[in-house]
Structure formats: C-alpha cells, structure tokens
C-alpha cells in the first residue's frame, strides 16, 4: 500500500479529453501512469491485459470511459484480469446505482472498488480537479497519493471529500452537476435579458464588471465572458444543448426525496427546449459547456 507522498503506479483506462489531461497531471506529480485507450495514437499499451501485466501488485486501475455499458463492460473485463488485493476506481460520470453492482462483482474476486466524481473539465490539468469519493476508508487510503496529485493545491478538504460508502462519490457529483445546470442557466437568462434591452450597449463589458467583487462573481461567469470575447453575440453556434444525464438523475432524486428543486428542474427542461428552438440563453449554455469541459457545440449555418 502507498502512503501520502509516495510515488505509485496507476493504470488509467480511457484517454479522452479528461483522461489524457489527468494522465499528464498525475505524471507531473511524480507517479507512473500507464494508459490504455482503443486509439493507438494515445495509448501506452495495446490491451487491458497488457495494462495489467505492466503494473506491479497490488494494482490500482482508474476507469475514465463513458457511463453505462462501456463502464460496466470494462469492470467485467477487469474482474477477469486483475487479482485479489487490486483496486478499481470508476472516475467517470456513472449513475450512483451502478456502483454497488460493480463493487459486488469485483468483491467476488477480492478486488476493491471506489467511485469518484471528478469535476474540473478541460481546465483541471492546470487547476486541479474537485474529487468526491465513495468506498471504504482502506481503499481510499490506498489511492490517496493519486487523489492528492489530481486535486487542487492547498488544503485537501478544499478539493477532496470521502463522501461515504460505495455510491456516495457519484451521488455527490450528480448533485454537483445538477447545481451546475441551474447556475449556468441563471447566467444565460441574465445574458439574454441584457441583450434584449437597448439601454445596454455593451453586454460583454457589463458582465465583465461583475467578475470582481460582486456576489455573482464566479468561474462560470468568467467563462461566459471568455466565450463572448471569442464569439461576440455567440453567432457561430446554435442554442442546441445536450444533457449528459446527471441533471435528469438529480431531478429524479429530488422527486424521490420530495425535495422541491425548481431551479434545477427548469434548467433541465430548458435544455430539452433548446432542441426545438434557438435562443440566446441556450447559446450561452452551449458556449459555457464548451468552455469548461470541451463539450462539442453545434455550429450555426
């Protein structure tokens, strides 16, 4: 087992926008990362078996692949490849209800499991990632050098939380993303109202004036200002905005717990509306998702 400050090995599966940047940040902290991805131009090994063979036991393997079947299939394959005492971390955006079945399957082979919500998008490589982890204290301790490499600098508790048992990490990230939906849409609606008022002749500078000292200052506001600098009026994109699942799941949980989640629900439904009509507000949300997470935008004609 590794302790805080020790260099350790990590197998990382999935080297997309997030995974590739995470590999770079972990390596920069002095750890050895062996990555696997189906794309030969980014992978370090040719297969999951080759990845396992390159790691010394007990092995720690981090999954960063799309939620749902891709993650479940990867867990199933790892259950047949890894050994007793190894540890698997799912750092993707899986639904929390998938975590206990994954943990149970791996436990049959003596393999540990952690679920880790990861926030930071494409900027995490430089700024660090907010981490929310579910699982046993012993497994968390095993992986702590990697968590410390990924989180922002400063006190651990400002960027890392052991949220609870298996499932808690992804549950916390789900609610985080639901809040994110509401915050982005509030900025987007304010942007649309400003653009509709002839008295406001300079919308980007008005928003910029809010970026220091005001109660609505935030990184998301900074990213909206950046998006408008790059594309004044957001003319190059449409308002079509996807939802990746967490907002829907948050609303489902609000219903299950009888919690009135007016803002998050409205923001989710607005995304549905964006697929039926164009609006300046949804263009702003689409631009924000591209800014903080590198998510694809739909170009306007």
Catalytic sites, residue numbers: 173, 180
Closest C-alpha to 59, from 80, 85, 90: 85
Tokens 């770079």 found at: 24
Contact 152, 125 (CB under 8 A): no
- CA-based max dimension of the chain: 68
- Given a contact cutoff of 8 angstroms between Cβ atoms, the answer to whether 74 and 65 are in contact is yes
64 phi, psi to nearest 5 deg: -130, 65
CA angle 250, 253, 255 (to 5 degrees): 115
The burial class, CB within 10 Å (0-12 / 13-18 / 19+), for 5 is exposed
Residue 300 is classified by DSSP as P
Q: In the chain, which residue ranges form alpha helices assigned H by DSSP?
A: 17-28, 48-54, 69-81, 99-107, 124-127, 137-150, 168-196, 203-208, 219-230, 246-256, 262-274, 280-293
Edge-to-edge strands of the sheet including 87-90? 32-36, 9-13, 60-63, 87-90, 112-119, 130-134, 160-164
């Amino acid at each position: 087992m590794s302790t805080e400050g020790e260099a350790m090995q990590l197998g990382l599966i999935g080297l997309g926008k997030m995974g590739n940047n995470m590999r770079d940040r972990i390596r920069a902290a002095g750890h050895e990362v062996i990555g696997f991805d189906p794309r030969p131009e980014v992978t370090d090994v040719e297969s999951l078996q080759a990845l396992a063979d390159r790691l010394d036991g007990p092995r720690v393997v981090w999954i960063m692949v799309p939620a749902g079947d891709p993650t479940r299939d990867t867990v199933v394959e790892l259950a047949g490849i890894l050994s007793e005492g190894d540890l698997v971390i799912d750092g993707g955006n899986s639904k929390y209800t998938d975590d206990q079945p994954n943990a149970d399957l791996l436990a049959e082979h003596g393999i540990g499991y952690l679920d880790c919500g990861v926030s930071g998008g494409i900027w995490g490589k430089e700024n660090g990632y907010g981490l929310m982890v579910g699982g046993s204290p012993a497994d968390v301790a095993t992986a702590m050098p990697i968590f410390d490499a990924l989180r922002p600098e400063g006190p651990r508790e400002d960027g890392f939380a052991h949220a609870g048992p298996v499932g808690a990490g992804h549950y916390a990230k789900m609610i985080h993303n639901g809040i994110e939906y509401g915050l982005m849409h509030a900025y987007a609606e304010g942007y649309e109202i400003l653009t509709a008022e002839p008295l406001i002749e300079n919308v980007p500078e008005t928003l910029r004036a809010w970026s220091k000292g005001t109660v609505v200052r935030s990184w998301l506001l900074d990213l909206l200002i950046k998006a408008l600098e790059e594309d004044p009026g957001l003319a190059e994109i449409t308002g079509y905005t996807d939802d990746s699942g967490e907002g829907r799941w948050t609303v489902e949980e609000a219903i299950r717990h009888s919690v009135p989640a007016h803002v998050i629900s409205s923001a989710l439904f607005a995304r549905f509306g964006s697929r039926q009509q164009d609006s300046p507000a949804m263009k702003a949300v689409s631009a924000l998702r591209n800014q903080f997470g590198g998510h694809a935008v739909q170009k306007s004609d």
